[in-house]
Amino acid sequence: MVNREIVEYVAKLARIEITEQEKDFLCSQLSKILNYIDTLKEVDVKDIEVFRGYHVKECFLREDNILIFDAKEKILKNAPLEEDNYFKIPKVIG
């Protein structure tokens, strides 16, 4: 069960201020959520096929192809300032 200390800790991590009434409410709600997750953990899903959506029959990611990029010099010619094959910019943060 979620207690007030846990709710206060999570609120501190999230950098939010909550009232005493909200703490009680959130204890109840978080406990219900965690109990529901525990219920879901008990469901046997080992014989269930992975669902990717109605329209997706298979994984359609492409193969990675290595390409040679040879336009670096052309791009650096457009730079107002360049040093050692990099764009040189003014200092942004002081």
User: Helices 4-14 and 20-41 sit at what angle, rounded to 10 degrees?
Assistant: 100
Look at residue 57 and tell me whether its pLDDT is greater than 70. no
In a domain, 23, yes or no: yes
- Do residues 28 and 58 make contact, with C-beta atoms less than 8 angstroms apart? no
**Residue-number span of the structural domain to which 21 is assigned:** 4-41
> What total number of domains does the chain contain?
1
pLDDT for residue 54? 67
Do the domain assignments include residue 19? yes
Q: Whole-model pTM above 0.75?
A: no
Could you tell me which residues come within 8 angstroms of residue 34 by beta carbon, excluding any fewer than 6 positions away? 2
Q: What CATH number does the domain containing 21 carry?
A: 1.10.20
List, for residues 28-39, the tens digit of each pLDDT value. Answer: 999 999 999 999
Q: For 67, left (φ over 0), alpha (ψ -120 to 50), or beta? A: beta
